Chains A and B, each alone.
Chain A
Amino acid sequence: MGQPFTISLDSLLDPVDFDAMRETAAAGGCSSSSCGSSARPEDMDADVWERIKDHPCYSEEAHHYFARMHVAVAPACNIQCNYCNRKYDCANESRPGVVSEKLTPDQARRKVIAVANEVPQLSVLGIAGPGDACYDWKKSQATFSAIAKDIPDIKLCISTNGLSLPDRIDELAAMNVDHVTITINMVDPEIGAKIYPWIYFRNRRWTGVEASQILHERQMLGLEMLTARGVLTKINSVMIPGINDEHLIEVNRWVKQRGAFLHNVMPLISDPAHGTHFGLTGQRGPSAMELKALQDRLEGGAKLMRHCRQCRADAVGLLGEDRGQEFTLDQLPEAVDYDPAKRTAYREIVAGERGDHVAARKAAAAAIQENAAEGQSMLVAVATKGGGRVNEHFGHAKEFQIYEASSKGVVFVGHRKVEAYCMGGFGEDATLDAVIAALEGVRHVLCAKIGDCPKDMLEAAGIEASDAYAYEYAETAIGALYAQTFARAPGRAVA
């Protein structure tokens, strides 16, 4: 095992010394020829992998290295969902549909260039709202064409409810929008009627089962048309206990049949403070373990995405962090010029780092195989700043990435959001209780550092926290932890 990789992705957020960066990119690690391609899953075409390998949402591996930004240029929407309330101005809330300021296409262009200059991890520009990007198409289109001119290698991504999608297929293809997400919560209009109070279609409002029937047909049509064009589609589904939780298995089957590339099942976010219908009527979201149970049942169907952070329609940054506040309109310069240097240099570094990470993953899987027994699996929470390493202090973590170690290897299965425990050197007991509750089902936590007090309190709650693997790749650390936990009894012969 080499030394910990000392240039964390964090350092790239500071003013950049390009010479130092180039030196590191050229030094040590693996040679670039072993990168990227060796991370490709065996069951995936090489050219599909090329298209998704740097997209943080479409590739779980990519989300440790690459960032996306959403620009809030599409406020108009043609349906109403019971989980949505598109008010703006809540900077502390992170859920789809929320933005702090809407942008015109030109403002969006300036913001994207400013971000691309400052955030070298940026690989994707998405229009996710705050309304519907396909319905409010003129603004989406204007935004994409302006930016594709300035930053030709950025991936364009769009998210929609699908109602007006069939009308936009030609234009989407013409703009090289390679990634389209459709939010599909039902394939049975009777269930849909509980989620969608109304839609606006062909110049009138529709309600009830009829509305959901139309929505369903248009979504299926849109998906089929995209598949026929070779566009990579991700299907987002909101899991609403008691309404569509069992039904999503049916949805998974339908979308897989129609060529969806990825299925992202996310938990309903519901709180009366949000003013959504579900929030106000007390419809609850699923617990972390309920969500995981459903996701586990869907394995083997359409490929699953498990690392969605349900970000805002104006989110900026690596998944799990939001740097949007650094790039508000009032902070953007009037004239912006795109400088590709940082992003290019970053990709060189990542190419090296990635190969190492992939090798580490394989080694961890092999290590576990030696010690694995049928049915022995464990969930491990990892505190990380990025790069797939155990590199965050327990007290500073705002989320824990959850991995499952079993005879299949070490697999990322989700994340749990928490309030950071440590505030200026002191912890609050109440926050630690909340962390313990958020870690339901998880008995091991890995972090770069943890104070004795929280460590003891976690132990009392049945959770073992360790900083013994600080700065290792998550998979390497977990492989070692698994071996330690399920260690064979001494004296047993090893095959």
Chain B
Amino acid sequence: MAFKIIASQCTACGACEFECPTAAIRFKNDTYMIDPKTCTECEGHFDTQQCNSVCPVPKTCVKA
């Protein structure tokens, strides 16, 4: 289970990287990427997925 970022729509604001509780997001190749091995969909941390909640572009940070 993981979320993913649609690279072509990402504005690279970095808010997701900052909010991720498991440090699963990093900046690579001009865009942010979620490591599916580290992403826990915020289970055990928050009721809603942080990256998806803060992302400014609709339908860009979505369930993989």
Contacts and interface: CB of A to CB of B under 8 A. Distances in A.
Interface of A: 75-78, 80, 86-88, 102, 130-131, 135-136, 200, 203-205
A9 B50 CA distance: 50
Nearest to B47: A204
A194 B19 CA distance: 27
The B interface, classified by DSSP as helix, strand, loop or mixed, is loop
A452 B47 CA distance: 70
B18 A76 contact: yes
A88 B31 CA distance: 14
Contacts of B18: 76, 136
Interface in B1-58: 11-15, 18-19, 46-48, 50, 53-54, 56
Contact of A75 (B12, B47, B48, B54): B12
Nearest to B46: A203
Contact of B12 (A77, A102, A135, A200): A102
A86 B13 contact: yes
A118 to B, nearest CB: 29
Nearest to A87: B11
B11 A200 contact: no
Contacts of B15: 76-78, 131, 135-136, 200
A86 B47 CA distance: 28
A77 B56 contact: yes
| Interface size class of chain B, counting residues whose CB lies under 8 Å from the partner chain | 10 to 19
Given A76-B18, A77-B56, A205-B53, A88 B46 contact: no
Nearest to A102: B12
Interface of B: 11-15, 18-19, 46-48, 50, 53-54, 56
Chain A facing B: main interface SS: loop
Nearest to B54: A200
B53 A204 contact: yes
23 contacts: A75-B12, A75-B13, A75-B14, A76-B14, A76-B15, A77-B13, A77-B15, A77-B56, A78-B15, A78-B54, A86-B11, A86-B13, A87-B11, A102-B12, A131-B15, A136-B18, A200-B15, A203-B19, A203-B50, A203-B53, A204-B46, A204-B48, A204-B53
B57 to A, nearest CB: 9
A87 B60 CA distance: 14
Contacts of A136: 14-15, 18
Contacts of A80: 56
Contacts of B46: 203-204
Contacts of B14: 75-76, 136
Q: Which of A86, A102, A205 has the most CB of B within 10 A?
A: A205
A205 B14 CA distance: 17
A102 B14 CA distance: 11
A136 B13 CA distance: 9
B52 to A, nearest CB: 8
Contacts of B54: 76, 78, 200, 205
A77 B11 CA distance: 12
A141 to B, nearest CB: 13
From B12, B13, B18, B46, residue with most partner A Cβ within 10 Å: B13
Question: What 5 A-B pairs have minimum CB-CB distances, sorted nearest first?
Answer: A76-B15, A75-B13, A205-B53, A200-B54, A76-B13
A136 B56 CA distance: 14
Given A75-B11, A131-B13, A200-B54, 20 more contacts: A75-B12, A75-B13, A76-B13, A76-B14, A76-B15, A76-B18, A76-B54, A80-B56, A86-B11, A102-B12, A130-B13, A131-B15, A200-B15, A203-B19, A203-B46, A203-B53, A204-B47, A204-B48, A205-B48, A205-B54
